[in-house]
Amino acid sequence: MTATGAVLARPSVSGGGARLLPQVVLAVICGGYAAGAVLGWGSPELAVVMGDFGLSAAALAAAASCLWYGRRHSGRMRPAWLLFAASSAMAALGNGVWGWYEVVLGRTVPTPSAADFCFLLFAPPAIVGMLVLAKRPVTRAGWICLALDAWLIAGSLVTLSWSLALAHTGQTGADGGSVARRALSLAYPLLDIVLVSMVIVLHFRRASGNRSTINTAIAAFALTVLCDALFTSPMLREHYRSGQILDAGWFAGSLLLAYAPWVARREAAEAPPPVRRTAQPTRPIAGSLGALAPYLAAAVCTLGILFNVMDGRPIDGVVLFTACAVVLALVVRQAIMLLDNITLTQELAQKENHFRSLVQSSSDVIMIAAPTGILRYVSPAASGVYGRDADELVGSELASLIHPEDLGSVVHEVRRFLAASPGEEPTTRIECRFRSGSGDWLNVESTINRHHGGLIFNSRDVTERVRLQAQLQHNAEHDPLTDLPNRALFTKRVRHAVAGRRRTDAGTAVLFIDLDGFKAVNDTVGHQAGDELLVQAARRLQESVRSGSGDCAARLGGDEFAALIVGDGDGAAGDRECRILEIADRLRARLSQPYKVEAGTEVRVAASIGVAFAEPGISPGALMRNADLAMYRAKAGGKNRVELYAPQMQAEVARRAEVATRLRAALHDGEFVLLHQPVVELASGRITAVAAQARWRSAQGILFTPAEFLRVADNGRGGGDEAARAAELARWMLEAAVEQAAQRRRDGHSVPVCVRLPAGRLVDKSMPPKSVETLLALHGLPSGSLILELTDSGPRMALEELEHRLGALRRLGVRIALDGFGSGYAAIRSLRRLPIDVLKLDPGLVEGVLESSRLHKITSGLLRIAGDLGMQSIAEGVDLPEQLVTLRGMGCTHAQGMAFSGPLDEHRLRRALARGAYPVPRSDAPLLVGGALAVRHGGHGGLHGPRRTESHTHPPTRSNTETPVPPT
């Protein structure tokens, strides 16, 4: 039995064979016992042993199995298994006592005996355990109905059994049997009847969980009761011997009860995760038993009475009493059922009214459609949502109300939903357009549920939401000012054009457009006028692209626009290129026409256009980058022009990026050095100042000018990293120049130093306040020894802040020079507003002063303006002696350039300062001089010390080859 229990206790594993193994073992054991009983076990002695102690062992196994499971598992069913263990223990003890008499003592079991006492105690725990397994009623009426159901079954069985056999058993025999023996003969069948009643009740009222376990326990007790009933029959009891086939039934019943807990364990292991459900109150009368029990009980009682009448016996008092009790229970039961039905009807009507109110008051439309698609029910909300009466919609086909373009997707989704499992997908959702009463199409969102083979549609009008989503989508992909596609949508369309291009679509091009001079319109006329200009430009651009051909115009931001021209594949590559360039040039001319903006003001802007063609395999990002490069090349080439992308443009960008990276590292690693070019007074040839210039020492030790970097550093318009590098270079130049000038002054060379500094640096918020004053004090350099050459004083510069800052510096003795004078409007504007001491002529004015009479007059006029304002002037880039003579005749006071010396390193500079002067060529021709310049500051004349009016005799001018110039 231990091995058998181990096999039954083996946990189930995946696979049908593993799950069937315990049942197969159980069937083999029971079949073997039955075969042994049929064959007589080979000997009478072995038959008695197996009939007594075999049954005791089987019942003991059931008791141990139920007790072990009940102690290890908690829950509502735990008391039932403990009671079943006690019931099986009584059966095991009774069979053991029976075997003691027959096997050990070798005599017949007396009646009554201790075995009868144990067998009688088998039924009560089993009956109570059955009640525990049954589904518990939730109301008092439910408990009453449960008791009545049990009595109806028990009473009908008592009536039938008494009529058939129990009446004869209960009568006093001829031998005058004892009362105890007659009571015992009645107790066995009565307890079996009660147990059968509980088995039947449990069958109809078993709990929803662990059904296999409960069914196994029911089968075990049903088999036991059946064997008890057969044993009670006088015919079988007279010929009963231990070890016969009747014992096989008891043996199988005990093993089934032993196996029942392991069915529960296997179900717990294989059960899916529990689904949380809302608890529903259980009705007092439910299930098939509630409907059939009264009539079945009445039929059984009638059958018992008829049997007595047909047998010719008078109506037995027990039968009459039991029948009356059954009828009374039936009346009470029917009364309770009637009251329950009345309550149920009232609740049903109340719930129906409640749900009808919900459906009729709901703003959503509820429709029930048959499997054929015909609408069976439509809620009254349809009149408010769809503008159609519910009665009008009932009976119509749902497909006739859905937009034809949406019908296919709706049918596909409905079919997929109906094919899916209801447990996995209880609902689905669709969106479609629904025809309203006015004939318009409404956007409708519907939740679909299954309903008796049909479908329930819970629909709501979402037209406003769909419109809002469409508007938000439009706003996210279009420019709010011009309503043109923005960069995101334009990139998407370029991607579609490039990815979907066929071989016949060759010639697709992207145009990047920038409006030249737009910032000036904002500054002069105002931002409102600038917005009007952008709107008109967008309209012109939109009118210039082909509609319906896939072409697209967009605004990328600011004054930058773009256009996508989809190729048609006609003609050769050269013809397509000429056609696109012709379109771009017409667009340039169209955008360059005058615009009438606020208050009728007419303004003009130009257009720089870059064109890039979509080559095979190019990505949208690369195509747009190529067009952007071509546009910047058009702006750099003079603006108001069309430029076609060429591969060398990308190479140039890469080269500039590489140079910028190298220069960034050079600036960080201290590879820049400072050279100085002498500034010479033309009247005397004296070195009155030195101009600091930065040079980059390469890895080979050669000094050269990083033209691209210095250009960014000079104008400060590079933006981003370039602007940061320009600011860092300007800071380094100022610090290095002041430090070296202080060292030269300590060595006896008191010559001012000119440092080129972007004007924006002086008003930059990131620059520490009074940084120039702090630097001069740190190195002990007098403020009169520093000349700041301002660059980049453009029209957008905040002149008020700059004027205040320059005034504070001049009060300390720092002199201010305006660099690049004569190169544009910004110089005149700065000259009018800022406190300037020195004007530096732009090298472009000096270069052609000998060849061009027009340029000669312009330069002469600018120098006369400087003289009239009492300012000193420096001509930059003077390389020829003839230029010196001409400029001095025009009134220029100072000059720097290769005519005297190039930029010098510190050693050669000190040698030049020790010499003190350069020879200045003389001319016998009358000179156009502007007269002696007045001294601006007390104690300071010219660029260095007081001006001397006496004449000097200069030696002949040396050639450029004699001037010490370091490699540049």
Residue 108: Cβ-neighbour burial (10 angstroms; 0-12, 13-18, 19+)? exposed
**pLDDT at site 745:** 92
Instruction: Confirm if 954 and 920 have CB atoms less than 8 A apart.
Output: yes
* Neighbouring residues of 367: CB distance < 8 A, sequence distance ≥ 6: 375, 377, 378, 379, 382, 393, 398, 456, 457, 459
Rounded Cα distance, 237 and 226, in Å: 14
SS3 508: coil
Rounded Cα distance, 834 and 811, in Å: 14
Of 917, 900, 888, 903, nearest to 959 by C-alpha is 900
If one counts every other C-beta atom within 10 angstroms of the C-beta of residue 470, the result is 11
**Beta strand 509-516 pairing with 815-821:** unpaired
Take residue 697 and report the two structure tokens written for it. 């020492």
**Res. 12 pLDDT band, cuts 50 70 90:** very low
Higher local confidence (pLDDT), 149 or 714: 149
**Res. 551 pLDDT band, cuts 50 70 90:** confident
Residue 144: Cβ-neighbour burial (10 angstroms; 0-12, 13-18, 19+)? middle
Give the residue-averaged pLDDT of 820-848: 81
* Residue given tokens 């006369």 in the structure block: 864
Phi-psi region of 88 (alpha: psi -120 to 50; beta: other; left: phi over 0): alpha
Residues 771-784 as b or e (16 or more Cβ within 10 Å = b): ebeebbeeeebebb
SS3 141: helix
Residue 650: Cβ-neighbour burial (10 angstroms; 0-12, 13-18, 19+)? middle
**Res. 478 pLDDT band, cuts 50 70 90:** very high
Percent of the chain with pLDDT over 70: 71
In this structure, which long-range contacts are made by residues 306-309, counting pairs with CB atoms below 8 Å and at least 24 apart in sequence?
A: 307/160, 307/163, 307/164, 308/163
pLDDT higher than 50, residue 964: no
Chain centroid, CA 810 distance in Å: 60
SS3 407: helix
Rounded Cα distance, 629 and 941, in Å: 51
Higher local confidence (pLDDT), 90 or 199: 90
Chain centroid, CA 182 distance in Å: 83
User: Which parts of 175-284 fold into alpha helices (H)?
Assistant: 179-205, 211-232, 234-238, 245-270
Rounded Cα distance, 321 and 655, in Å: 117
Instruction: Confirm if 283 and 344 have CB atoms less than 8 A apart.
Output: yes
pLDDT in tens, 303-333: 666 666 666 666 666 666 666 777 777 777 7
Reduced to 3 DSSP states, what percent helix, strand and coil does the chain have, rounded to the nearest 5? 55, 15, 30
Rounded Cα distance, 152 and 298, in Å: 9
**pLDDT at site 46:** 84
**Cis preceding linkage at 112, omega within 30:** yes
- The mean of the pLDDT values for the chain is 76
Take residue 208 and report the two structure tokens written for it. 């929803």
In this structure, which long-range contacts are made by residues 331-335, counting pairs with CB atoms below 8 Å and at least 24 apart in sequence?
A: 332/144, 332/148, 333/145, 333/148, 333/149, 333/152, 333/293, 333/294, 334/294
* Residue given tokens 């007594």 in the structure block: 52
Phi-psi region of 860 (alpha: psi -120 to 50; beta: other; left: phi over 0): alpha
pLDDT higher than 80, residue 570: no
Instruction: Confirm if 677 and 895 have CB atoms less than 8 A apart.
Output: no
* Neighbouring residues of 20: CB distance < 8 A, sequence distance ≥ 6: none
DSSP 176: -
For residue 512, the cross-strand partners are 562, 610
pLDDT in tens, 47-71: 888 878 888 888 888 888 888 888 8
pLDDT in tens, 601-653: 889 999 999 999 988 888 888 899 999 999 988 988 888 899 998 888 888 77
Cα end-to-end distance, the chain, whole Å: 109
**Res. 678 pLDDT band, cuts 50 70 90:** very high
Of 734, 608, 691, nearest to 901 by C-alpha is 691
* Residue given tokens 């015992």 in the structure block: 184
pLDDT in tens, 788-828: 998 865 555 667 888 888 888 888 889 999 888 767 656 77
Rounded Cα distance, 954 and 582, in Å: 63
**Res. 5 pLDDT band, cuts 50 70 90:** very low
**pLDDT at site 753:** 94
pLDDT higher than 50, residue 512: yes
Rounded Cα distance, 369 and 401, in Å: 13
Computed on alpha carbons and rounded to an integer, the radius of gyration of the chain in Å comes to 57
Cα atoms in the 13 Å half-sphere on the side-chain side of 236: 14
* Neighbouring residues of 854: CB distance < 8 A, sequence distance ≥ 6: none
Instruction: Confirm if 717 and 654 have CB atoms less than 8 A apart.
Output: no
Distances from the Cα of 749 to the Cα of 246, 733, 737, 741, 765, angstroms? 136, 20, 14, 8, 35
Instruction: Confirm if 890 and 652 have CB atoms less than 8 A apart.
Output: no
**pLDDT at site 923:** 63
Rounded Cα distance, 459 and 359, in Å: 12
- Between 92-101, 610-619, 764-773, the lowest mean confidence (pLDDT) is in 764-773
pLDDT in tens, 236-293: 666 677 777 878 888 888 888 888 887 766 655 555 544 444 344 444 444 454 456 5
Of 591, 588, 604, nearest to 641 by C-alpha is 588
**pLDDT at site 336:** 76
Chain centroid, CA 787 distance in Å: 60
- Between 343-357, 709-723, 832-846, the lowest mean confidence (pLDDT) is in 709-723
Rounded Cα distance, 809 and 787, in Å: 10
Rounded Cα distance, 95 and 50, in Å: 11
Instruction: Confirm if 225 and 196 have CB atoms less than 8 A apart.
Output: yes
Instruction: Confirm if 512 and 560 have CB atoms less than 8 A apart.
Output: yes
Give the containing element (helix H, strand E) for 815. strand 815-821
